[in-house]
Amino acid sequence: MFQANFDLKSYNTFGISAKCSFFGTFSSVEELKSSLTEVKRLNLPLMILGGGSNILLTKDYHGIVLRNEIKGFAIINETENQVIVKSGAGEVWHEFVMKCLDHNLAGIENLSLIPGSVGASPMQNIGAYGVEIKDVFHRLEALHIESGEIHLFDKSGCRFGYRESVFKRELKDQYVITSVEFELQKNARVNTSYGAINEELANKKITKPTIKDVSDAVIAIRQSKLPDPKVIGNAGSFFKNPVIDIELAKKILLEYPEMPNYPDRSNSNQTKLAAGWLIEQAGFKGKRIENYGVHTKQALVLVNYGGSEGKDIYNLSSDILAAVKEKFGVDLEREVNIM
Ligand code: FAD
Ligand code: EPU
């Protein structure tokens, strides 16, 4: 049931050609369980794949790749103001957001057009335009690979942080997320705290935005600066925005008073910087080496113009880490999963 020596090129948004020893898909928990029995028999490493929009393949994978295709959309609980929606982990995230909009359910419209699957959304607590998954997350079901048991995780069990969860840290590679539940609102309260959304709405002369208006604004902003993976290979932000000591930020601001910085409301000793700005200042924005480089409109995004190798893009990311460290004394951290 697995395909041997399989090229993952069309299964990662960077469009990198790299082979895995075996490739299979599962569209139910039962299919996943029988695939895992086969994985144990073959005794090879396992990689779970969703949309492949947050990975960089730097070499062939000597192991088994299983792609999650568990579908499903159901409203499982409803009160006067709130609804719990359950989604199969293999649903496409943006399609799920659109379905919720069709049901007039508010809470995830700011996360429109993020590529990938619903099941991967809790992995790094996806976020954009003032909203993170943790703001609307209810609970998830995940299959424990070792025991084959289904375990439930509530919000505190996921230990969400900025682009972080327990599944990227302590429980890395131990679970397959099979479904996710979200708590959405019936009486829409839009979140336009992110400046660019208001600008976009003002341009369209919208004064009382609906959740559809906010979604449209977010889509327009994203399309104006992020490359479409169908056209230019990429995995979104390659690095996290660094959270640094306030004293180091003050030192940098003396020389660069225009530097974007966002004080941490929960810890007055720390502030978040914009990695895109740091990388641009270090001279990398729009830089192109052969068929890969740094996006012209957003320095946080590394791109494959076609035919590049993952290891070259990885090496470019190392050059960026070193240059930003040398110029600003700031350590960037990769956000994309390196395989
Ligand atoms: P994959 O890339 O397939 O997998 C990512 C990781 O999760 C891998 O380690 C994989 O093994 C693991 N994994 C996947 N599914 C499961 C599962 N069911 N169970 C267990 N482990 C699993 N992210 C943001 O947060 N905000 C953004 O605004 C944003 N913008 C983006 C824009 C572009 C153009 C692109 C290409 C990416 C962007 N991303 C953004 C990153 C990406 O879309 C998200 O990280 C997304 O959640 C990845 O989903 P995926 O299904 O493609 O995951
Ligand atoms: N900036 C520059 N030069 C650049 C890029 C950005 O100076 O080349 C500056 C901008 O002018 C702005 C600041 O950096 O002042 C922030 O830029 P932007 O609003 O574009 O957001 P970001 O911090 O670069 C983050 C997320 C995105 C998310 C957007 C919107 C991370 C690592 N990235 O980007 O997420 O969509 O905010 O909320 O937190 C992703 O994770 O893949 C991703 C795309």
CATH number at residue 271: 3.90.78.10
- Mean local confidence (pLDDT), 26-48: 97
CA proximity to 123, closest of 339, 338, 337: 337
Give the nearest ligand 1 atom to 132 CA.
25
For residues 58 and 313, give the distance between their C-alpha atoms in angstroms, rounded to a whole number. Answer: 8
Tell me what percent of the residues of the chain surpass a pLDDT of 70: 100
Going from the C-alpha of 272 to that of each of 223, 238, 269, the distances in angstroms are 25, 16, 11
Same domain, 173 and 92: yes
Same domain, 128 and 143: yes
Q: Domain with 56 in it: what CATH number?
A: 3.30.43.10
Same domain, 288 and 322: yes
For residues 16 and 61, give the distance between their C-alpha atoms in angstroms, rounded to a whole number. Answer: 12
Whether ligand 2 lies within 6 angstroms of the CB of 236 is answered as: yes
The token pair that represents 169 in the structure block = 């840290």
Same domain, 179 and 281: no
**Residue 268, pLDDT score:** 86
pLDDT band, very low/low/confident/very high, at 230 (cuts 50, 70, 90): very high
The token pair that represents 219 in the structure block = 């889509």
Residue 195 lies in a domain: no
What's the structural domain count of the chain?
Answer: 3
Q: How far is CA 159 from the centre of its chain?
A: 16
Residue 36 lies in a domain: yes
Burial (CB count <10 Å: 0-12, 13-18, 19+), residue 170: exposed
Tell me what percent of the residues of the chain surpass a pLDDT of 90: 96
Ligand 2, atom 16, lies closest to the CA of: 274
Same domain, 140 and 157: yes
**Residue 187, pLDDT score:** 85
Residue 328 lies in a domain: yes
Q: Domain with 113 in it: what CATH number?
A: 3.30.465.10
- Mean local confidence (pLDDT), 241-255: 97
Residue 212 lies in a domain: no
**Residue 315, pLDDT score:** 98
**Residue 193, pLDDT score:** 87
Tell the residue number behind the tokens 């609307």, with chain if given.
136
Give the nearest ligand 1 atom to 124 CA.
45
Residue 155 lies in a domain: yes
Tell the residue number behind the tokens 């336009």, with chain if given.
192
Residue 198 lies in a domain: no
pLDDT of 12 higher than 90: yes
Same domain, 51 and 104: no
**Residue 263, pLDDT score:** 87
Residue 164 lies in a domain: yes
Choosing from 163, 179, 215, 317, the catalytic residue is 163
pLDDT band, very low/low/confident/very high, at 195 (cuts 50, 70, 90): confident
Angle at 201 between CA 53 and CA 273, to 5 degrees: 50
Q: Considering 32, 48, 68, which residue would you say is the last residue of a domain?
A: 68
Same domain, 290 and 319: yes
For residues 232 and 290, give the distance between their C-alpha atoms in angstroms, rounded to a whole number. Answer: 14
Same domain, 64 and 77: no
Domain residues for 161? 73-185
Q: Considering 37, 68, 99, which residue would you say is the last residue of a domain?
A: 68
Q: Is 147 known to be catalytic?
A: no
pLDDT of 250 higher than 90: yes
pLDDT band, very low/low/confident/very high, at 226 (cuts 50, 70, 90): very high
Q: Best substitution site from 55, 129, 164, 277 to test ligand 2's pocket, by max atoms within 8 Å of Cβ?
A: 277
Whether ligand 2 lies within 6 angstroms of the CB of 128 is answered as: yes
Say what the alpha-carbon torsion angle 19, 20, 21, 24 is, to the nearest 10 degrees: -130
Same domain, 77 and 32: no
- Mean local confidence (pLDDT), 277-300: 98
For residues 334 and 176, give the distance between their C-alpha atoms in angstroms, rounded to a whole number. Answer: 23
The token pair that represents 259 in the structure block = 């530097």
Same domain, 59 and 105: no
Whether ligand 2 lies within 6 angstroms of the CB of 299 is answered as: yes
For residues 135 and 107, give the distance between their C-alpha atoms in angstroms, rounded to a whole number. Answer: 8
Q: Is 10 known to be catalytic?
A: no
Q: Considering 68, 94, 124, which residue would you say is the last residue of a domain?
A: 68
Same domain, 59 and 81: no
Same domain, 270 and 325: yes
Tell the residue number behind the tokens 């994309």, with chain if given.
336
**Residue 270, pLDDT score:** 96
**Residue 267, pLDDT score:** 86
Going from the C-alpha of 339 to that of each of 167, 318, 332, the distances in angstroms are 16, 15, 19
Residue 42 lies in a domain: yes
More reliable by pLDDT, 263 or 8? 8
pLDDT of 184 higher than 90: yes
Question: From the CA of 274, how far away is ligand 2's center (Å)?
Answer: 7
Average pLDDT, the chain: 97
Helix (H, G, I), strand (E, B) or coil at 10: helix
**Residue 1, pLDDT score:** 81
pTM for this structure? 0.97
Give the nearest ligand 1 atom to 121 CA.
47
**Do residues 58 and 339 lie in contact, with contact meaning Cβ atoms separated by under 8 Å?**
yes
